[in-house]
Amino acid sequence: MELANFRFEVDADGVALATWDMADRSMNVITPQVMEDIGKLIDEVTTNDAIKGCVITSGKDGSFSGGADLTMLQGLGMAYHKLAKQQGEETAMQFFFDESRRLSLLYRRLETCGKPFAAAINGVCLGGAFELALSCHYRVVSDDKATRVGLPEVKVGLFPGAGGTQRVARLMPTGDALQMLFKGEQIRPAAAKSMNLVHEVAPKAEIVAKAKAWVLAGGKPQAPWDAEGYRLPSNKVYSPQGMMIWPAANAIYRRETQNNYPAIKAVLHAVYEGLQLPMDLALKVESRYFAKILRSPEAAAMIRTLFVSMQELNKGARRPAGVPASSLKKVGVIGAGFMGASVAYVTANAGIDVVLIDRDMEAAEKGKAYSHKLVTDQIMKGRAKTADRDALLARITPSADYASLADCDLVIEAVFEDPKVKAEVIARAEAAMPEGAIFGSNTSTLPITGLADTAKRPEQFIGIHFFSPVEKMLLVEVIMAKQTGDKALALALDYVRAIKKTPIVVNDARGFYANRCVGNYLREGHLMLMEGVPPAMIENVAKMAGMPVGPLSLNDEVAIDLALKIVKATKAQLGDAAVDPVQEKLLSTLVETEGRLGRKNRKGFYDYPEKGPKTLWPGLAAIAGQQLDPDALDMEELKQRLLVTQALEAARSVEEGIVTDPREADVGSIIGFGFAPYTGGTLSYIDGMGAKAFVALCEKLAAKYGARFEPNAQLRDMAASGETFYGRAAGARRAA
């Protein structure tokens, strides 16, 4: 038997061990070749009388498998469209359905083959790989802290289509199964066992032996649902117990998704219908929904942005060619306040030594204490050990002496947003840094080129803009000054990759990319409020549009006085026409008259009592001076305003050369400021609608609400030519 992706051996006791170890990949993924190999494994195990059963494990040290290669599913969609043109829709659809359920049928064949299969799992086992484990008759997972299992497909617009919805819903109570499938979270070993997803948790070195022992002990080669007398964990769908679940599940779905995610709705349908059927029919129902969702525009957009583009950016798609890879050993962080302390934490957590500098040792020690708090919180939740905290803290050296930067590969400043303060820090740091080291500024508002002008080595100066809270936010904006060289860019990208963040490379401009889009979102919320749109409606409409939080709530989090400061600075530097006087009036009234600064002083657009939930401040209506009838407002138009203002700013940033790659605009918009993920991001939102339709929508909004919605020249050209952002980018890459 020839296998391309597995090692196969049978021990003296007759137990086969299939070790999944793809030679050309750092992590195992499911491909058509892997599916062929699994089919051969099943045939060999079932037809060879000398084999009692089989254990499937991974040869990769830190992982089992991340699941299916989603580019395979992208290819399936392209094959469908090609076949539809050649042989018609019906033939193409039958091909698409048959191909999209190959994995489901393969796993069912394993499950019913008559020989016991066990999975021995270490590291991550997600998506289609966990569905493989679920089709095995026994599952042992390691207690290693890196081990996770789960079905995260909903996060890229899909759902588990290889039996996941049906097996999970038969292993645990229906409500719990739906929650798991809706959220797509990665589950730790102990939790997976308590949820009945796995049978045993053992030390990493013992998982294969434990799985083999189960086979030798007469492991039953039958899934519970195939055994006579099996009963569903939550009883039948049409039973008193079942009817307590489904109305609530539907309400939860609508509350959490605002009906924007067809894949999650398909989960509801597949589980509801599947639990009323025998397993084989239930799997067929799941496959029909899976084929439908796989062809949805939401899935196409989310797969492209949150899987394909994310992977490409994380692997260095924008890294300059020809610059040797850098291995950072030590990073200096200047400024031990909240941002600097957070940067020090994520750097040390990546195994890199950090020197954390502030004006005195007390301030520097206080910054280090933030890392102590973060790891202690993890220890209290059982996610880390005391030894982990000790090791991380040992990598952070607090200091008040710039001479400590003498052996740093990279120095990042995170000091007060004042050009004079930053210029002084740059000068002191450069005097102590090695000549070949790179200097990065974490500024969120000041142009990088202006800061680089104060540096001795401007070609080694770059912006590295983190988002708060640093330990949770995935995005880092890497900002190119006019003088920045390839070495600085390459090292910055290597650093971002080392700390397990996703970088986007943008050119220098006021607000860079993300903050420009976010600023438009906040402004639109402010203007709606001053028009008389009820504050609660603004917040709810934003969530209905797909944003994680409303603009008023978001402004409270980032601070209202900061928003006012930015408006005033913009006005001082660019003139009165650069700011909206209505927005300025709202912000100045809140901050200077009412003393409402946001969450930080418990008074903003919301009131924040010490106990109980936040509530919208009743005084907002008086500031607005008018209140519109909510029943007379166009909800769809309100949603469009909040999304269009951000997408339009993204389009302008492309025209201005700030963002040069649509992948970065889309990825950055979703993981940086939560732009409606189901759209695929700001530029995918425009491409999905079509530039012509988007320009028409902008013109309609501009006629009603003003010039801020006027489409830029490049968008008008795209509308006339029928071009898309991704089409233009692909053409540019081919020309290069």
Query: How many helices (H) does the chain have, and how many strands (E)?
Result: 32, 19
> Is 410 in contact with 332 (CB distance < 8 Å)?
yes
DSSP state of 242: G
> Is 347 in contact with 371 (CB distance < 8 Å)?
no
Helix, strand, coil percent values for the chain (each to nearest 5): 55, 10, 30
Q: How far is 628 from 631, CA to CA, in rounded Å?
A: 9
* Nearest alpha-carbon partner for 658 in 479, 502, 489, 465: 479
Give burial (CB, 10 Å; 0-12/13-18/19+) of 251: exposed
Half-sphere exposure of 670 (CA within 13 A, CB side): 26
17 phi, psi to nearest 5 deg: -120, 115
* Nearest alpha-carbon partner for 715 in 656, 671, 666: 656
> Is 418 in contact with 454 (CB distance < 8 Å)?
no
Q: How far is 451 from 218, CA to CA, in rounded Å?
A: 71
Q: How far is 312 from 338, CA to CA, in rounded Å?
A: 31
Give 571's contacts (C-beta < 8 A, 6+ positions apart): 578, 579, 584
Q: How far is 166 from 127, CA to CA, in rounded Å?
A: 14
63 phi, psi to nearest 5 deg: -155, 155
Chain centroid, CA 186 distance in Å: 13
Q: How far is 137 from 116, CA to CA, in rounded Å?
A: 6
> Is 687 in contact with 718 (CB distance < 8 Å)?
no
Catalytic residues: 465
User: Collapsing DSSP states into helix, strand and coil, what is residue 396?
Assistant: strand
Q: How far is 309 from 213, CA to CA, in rounded Å?
A: 43
Amino acid at 67: G
Beta bridge partners of 598: 603
Q: For residue 485, how many other CB atoms are within 10 A of its CB?
A: 18
Instruction: Provide the terminal-to-terminal Cα distance of the chain, rounded to the nearest Å.
Output: 45
Give 239's contacts (C-beta < 8 A, 6+ positions apart): none
Amino acid at 292: K
> Is 168 in contact with 183 (CB distance < 8 Å)?
no
